[in-house]
Amino acid sequence: MMKNLVVLSGAGMSAESGISTFRDAGGLWDKYPVEAVATPEGYLRDPKLVINFYNERRKQLLTVEPNEGHRGVAALEKLFNVTVVTQNVDNLHERAGSSHVIHLHGELTKVCSSRDPNNPRYIKELKPEEYEVKMGDLAGDGSQLRPFIVWFGEAVPEIETAIDYVEKADILVIIGTSLNVYPAAGLLHYAPQDCEVYLIDPKPVDAHTMRPIHVIRSGASEGVKQLREMLKP
């Protein structure tokens, strides 16, 4: 029987594809205050600014490709039951071929109701020619279409689903995340005691745990390559 492998990925997973990270020097938070573009209050204050910010992020998806890290994670499906739990809002895991991806923080390619963001009736997947959302574009309930993004201060609807998969994991792989953003950072603590844990990151990461962790000090592409060698049957 195939083992259950769960990948928890963060911004470092997509950095090699050219997606701007938020927290590193020169990242998006240096250019845009988090309060302005990633909180419900910022959206209420200036919805046009927020909508345009995510329009630009969305258009960036048309210029980038999955990297070898994304492809390597997708290739693990040949050997394991793989679930990807990502903090990223891009679609690069799916484009690389991963078939089961849980997006904790929403998806750039989707929009939703401003009044009822998590109502599936009003969540819409945008085609590339629709990536430019405008003020006055309405959801099915008559409210302004907003980015389908979980902002700071909002609940993370998919966290319970992610916990269910981590609790059944035989192998947990953490890639490119600082483990500073909760609730995602707490997922490690739901892994069973006998679950093997691998951490791939070029920088030191405090995992806030005493459990043994196989650390691969590399970027996503090289790190996943090494991981695949280590996991070969």
pLDDT of residue 24: 46
Both 87 and 202 in one domain: the answer is yes
The DSSP result for the chain, as a single string, is: -PPEEEEEE-HHHHHTTTPPPSSSTTSHHHHS-HHHHSSHHHHHH-HHHHHHHHHHHHHHGGG----HHHHHHHHGGGTSEEEEEES--SSHHHHHT-S-EEETTEEEEEEEESSSTT-GGG-EEPPGGG----TT-B-TTSSBEEEEE--TTS--TTHHHHHHHHHT-SEEEEES--S-STTGGGGGGGS-TT-EEEEE-SS----S--S--EEE-S-HHHHHHHHHHHT--
pLDDT of residue 34: 79
pLDDT of residue 183: 85
Give the domain extent around 131: 20-63+108-149
Both 56 and 165 in one domain: the answer is no
- pLDDT tens column, 164-221: 999 999 999 999 998 777 888 899 999 999 999 999 999 988 878 889 999 999 999 9
Domain termination residue (choose one: 129, 149, 169):
149
Both 10 and 76 in one domain: the answer is yes
Both 29 and 112 in one domain: the answer is yes
Active-site option among 70, 105, 189, 208: 105
Both 165 and 224 in one domain: the answer is yes
**What is the pLDDT of the chain when averaged over all its residues?**
92
pLDDT of residue 31: 66
- pLDDT tens column, 121-157: 999 999 999 999 999 999 999 999 999 999 999 999 9
Tell me, yes or no, if 105 is annotated catalytic.
yes
Both 95 and 82 in one domain: the answer is yes
Q: How many domains does the chain have?
A: 2
Both 51 and 134 in one domain: the answer is yes
Both 47 and 124 in one domain: the answer is yes
Indicate if the pLDDT at residue 30 is higher than 80. Answer: no
Both 143 and 165 in one domain: the answer is no
